[in-house]
Structure 1
């Protein structure tokens, strides 16, 4: 049967990048990178920018926290700055909340908007120039990237509820590696693996990612590395937060931009976009986890699993029906969350990434998955009728948005994310002990390592009396946390003016 005229279709993709010291390097700002990617997306579909009625942009890291700094200044209306660069005058401009789920969530949202008839031609774009900004800010004559773009802006704010918790800061949870390391060590305990065995597993997971990055034209670190090289501590691969070394952590010092052009099927026909450019969203979902201490299992992500399964169900396929996958890979933990649930191997011949992943392709702030979507669209176009999957993770393994892409014509189908979210939220959760006192056991932990060699221990424990969970300083147990087997160890919890602490049981 013919598809409705309002069926959303992805028709144009664009990606740009540059690396200091390489030919053609121009030191472009985030706005300039996003605009150049937008031009590529428009050229891909052979569509005029005058046709764009809506532009939505992913938030930059320099505008993702209340205390974020923009060393060279920034636009006060990023999407309209991009629109002005490319000669577009959309009636609606949106700046999304922070989080790596953003690009896929925007696809899901605006596909639904198009299907409802509330938009016809939508441009999604985003970029980061963290490498350039750091380099130029230290120069003798730094440029000024400040600009004012007139026009309306739907600024959705930072979106930090349930992700950034100021009460966690005194314990050292001030950065993403520390949070994800807690999840990683919880998984190691669940699997019963030694430190060395788990390190080897992380290396085996990410070594194939480096091979993909080495072939991707926009990768920030196109270097193939062995599994052992990824987890062996060296001067260049220093410890970050146990069990992570530098090579296992997302690379945010990149200069990358990406853009997607979406429209209704009626608009695609009216504008003469060739059918071989059409990519449909066959399945999708958007879910989130509970706050850190309220999660039943710190070693897994039921939201990521449910969002993945639901997107596949909507598409009418299973995991075996996918030709390509891109699993969000800021750290190993979010990848493992999906591979564990679906029985995927790091050696899967399809690969688990189409770009090379955030540590190797580059973690372009909140915008990484827009590159994954663009590359997935190119891959399914090259194999008509195939399906590609993108899983986008945000926050502290907090949000997960998914999409299944195909050139096979398919009617847009609303998802059941609201129902699924209610089911996730209804699951039992452990109680929390704000001020623990007495015997306890260690549930998970990490040790943060500074460049100067200082160490900071962080522990999540459970009270022996009632199983309530708590967060604590672990500096009294650094030797155990660094070299022994802390998980399951019996400790004593106490609370003083500096917060919660754990020490060896007497």
Structure 2
């Protein structure tokens, strides 16, 4: 095939992980972790790493958790994370980008800059991400804290936090401030649709995730390389405490990790000029990026139209069917994102091809917004060893708010645009549920979660008003209702609402 010299190819990938129980654990900073990964990715190109670094016109980074809020990082941080890493590897890119929050970011960035390369607007791009959650925890109670502050200055295209896609004052006031409780609402909505009891659904979640832990146990970059059985994942106890219903700890993304990842993507012309062997080249055959409606507007909380459409479109752009995919890595912060894709495209949860190459966020590790950069790295390595086959990466952000998909193969392919814009218009036009902000009177529980991480165990409710069927949020510390939500099954239960200071508070209806 005669390729346009501007065709984008992934030519280098790198990963780095340090575990707190490793010999020589150094409690690195986010910059240091990303630097290790970028060095590995530059070396992985098979060309001179210094030459490739010097040729990079763009470095784009995923926003790490410590700079995801407008407050000083606990141990200090660089004023330009991206350029701090670039400088350490001998690069001085013309453009530095810091992406918004969202686990879809790695695939979205790769698709964006692959498109820019194809358009001639970039030539050599380095994508990078890291999290130093382990370091932050290690020094939390110590006096000998390091100072990771750096003042490097320079150009930076900071795309902002992007919280407006994920939360509002209303949702925050009603306890939707952490990922476990948010996804707990989705998984319990799915359980309601399936008509499963609490114990049966927890077993189904454990059956979905146990095979992921087997992959993690074999992955040298895993933060927790331990095989977990279905029974172990499902059993709540001291070592597997409840985080937010329906999730015990072993069903929750492991965010206190020290991990870094990086990908080098460039044009075919640049790869040839820089001496990158064609054996390192992997092509992005298909891609799609879609957004779901705002959380409370969605007609059905138990599905993801954006994820389903993104996977379907990426496969269509690649010109293949689901049965032709050899490997998958589906974003797995909690069971729901994996179930949503399986439900939507007809992929069996126990498909023999497996649903991860990394080992999943609870076991491999959940390095914030950059997890799927590790998934891309694993997929690229796998595709090099399996010529002509295809690997699919599904990356999720927010409360199933954004979904980005990439289909990779070593088979040469031209850059192809996707039809995400038209698909987005269809999602935006879907029916929406009317909401009522302040509620007084009776209602019904549509879905729920329970926060065990607050001083007082608190129930979080998405409900429907008896008066008009409109949707609302509520919280509860009512003993009877919290007991039902923690130890029983409150789906469909009638409740009494009282609004005070803008917060809807629920109690069990008197018998």
TM-score, normalised on structure 1?
0.97
CA offsets 1:190-237 (integer angstroms, 9 cap, x no match): 000000100000000000000000000000000001011012111111
CA drift at 1:125? 0.6
**Which of the residues 183, 187, 191 maps onto 1:188?**
191
CA offsets 1:398-447 (integer angstroms, 9 cap, x no match): 11111000001111111111111111000001100112233322100111
Match of 2:42 in 1: 42
Match of 1:503 in 2: 507
Superposed, 1:69-218 pairs within 5 Å as 69-218=72-221
Match of 2:491 in 1: 487
Root-mean-square deviation (CA, aligned residues, Å) is 1.4
**Which structure 1 segments of 5+ residues have no match?**
none
| Alignment partners' CA distance in 1, 2:87 and 2:413 | 34
Superposed, 1:351-430 pairs within 5 Å as 351-430=354-433
| Alignment partners' CA distance in 2, 1:492 and 1:128 | 43
CA offsets 1:75-108 (integer angstroms, 9 cap, x no match): 1101100010000011000000011111111101
| Alignment partners' CA distance in 2, 1:26 and 1:478 | 43
**Which of the residues 436, 441, 444 maps onto 1:433?**
436
| Alignment partners' CA distance in 2, 1:220 and 1:437 | 47
Match of 2:298 in 1: 295
**Which of the residues 323, 328, 347 maps onto 2:350?**
347
| Alignment partners' CA distance in 1, 2:234 and 2:169 | 31
CA drift at 1:137? 4.2
- Residues 491 and 358 (structure 1 numbering): CA distance in 2 closer, same or farther, change over 3 Å? same
| Alignment partners' CA distance in 1, 2:179 and 2:168 | 12
CA drift at 1:451? 7.5
Match of 1:5 in 2: 5
**Which of the residues 42, 58, 61 maps onto 2:62?**
58
Could you say what secondary structure the match of 1:335 adopts?
helix
| Alignment partners' CA distance in 2, 1:23 and 1:280 | 37
| Alignment partners' CA distance in 2, 1:202 and 1:388 | 24
**Which of the residues 446, 456, 459 maps onto 1:457?**
459
| Aligned 8 A contact 2:224 2:363 in 1 | yes
CA offsets 1:360-392 (integer angstroms, 9 cap, x no match): 000011110000000000001110111000001
Bigger Cα displacement from structure 2, 88-97 vs 442-451: 442-451
CA offsets 1:175-195 (integer angstroms, 9 cap, x no match): 111110000100000000000
- Residues 478 and 133 (structure 1 numbering): CA distance in 2 closer, same or farther, change over 3 Å? closer
Bigger Cα displacement from structure 2, 209-218 vs 295-304: 295-304
Could you say what secondary structure the match of 2:112 adopts?
helix
| Alignment partners' CA distance in 2, 1:342 and 1:292 | 21
CA drift at 1:11? 0.3
**Which of the residues 223, 229, 234 maps onto 1:231?**
234
| Aligned 8 A contact 2:304 2:344 in 1 | no
Could you say what secondary structure the match of 2:200 adopts?
helix
| Aligned 8 A contact 1:162 1:290 in 2 | no
CA drift at 1:484? 2.7
Match of 1:14 in 2: 14
**Which of the residues 266, 290, 294 maps onto 2:269?**
266
| Alignment partners' CA distance in 2, 1:6 and 1:498 | 55
TM-score, normalised on structure 2?
0.96
Match of 2:30 in 1: 30
| Alignment partners' CA distance in 2, 1:315 and 1:465 | 49
| Alignment partners' CA distance in 2, 1:94 and 1:467 | 44
| Alignment partners' CA distance in 2, 1:257 and 1:227 | 29
CA offsets 1:235-257 (integer angstroms, 9 cap, x no match): 11101111100110000111110
CA drift at 1:464? 2.4
Could you say what secondary structure the match of 1:317 adopts?
coil
| Aligned 8 A contact 2:339 2:349 in 1 | no
| Alignment partners' CA distance in 1, 2:82 and 2:361 | 24
- Count matched residues: 504
| Alignment partners' CA distance in 2, 1:30 and 1:422 | 38
Bigger Cα displacement from structure 2, 492-501 vs 335-344: 492-501
Match of 1:444 in 2: 447
CA drift at 1:357? 0.5
| Alignment partners' CA distance in 1, 2:351 and 2:133 | 33
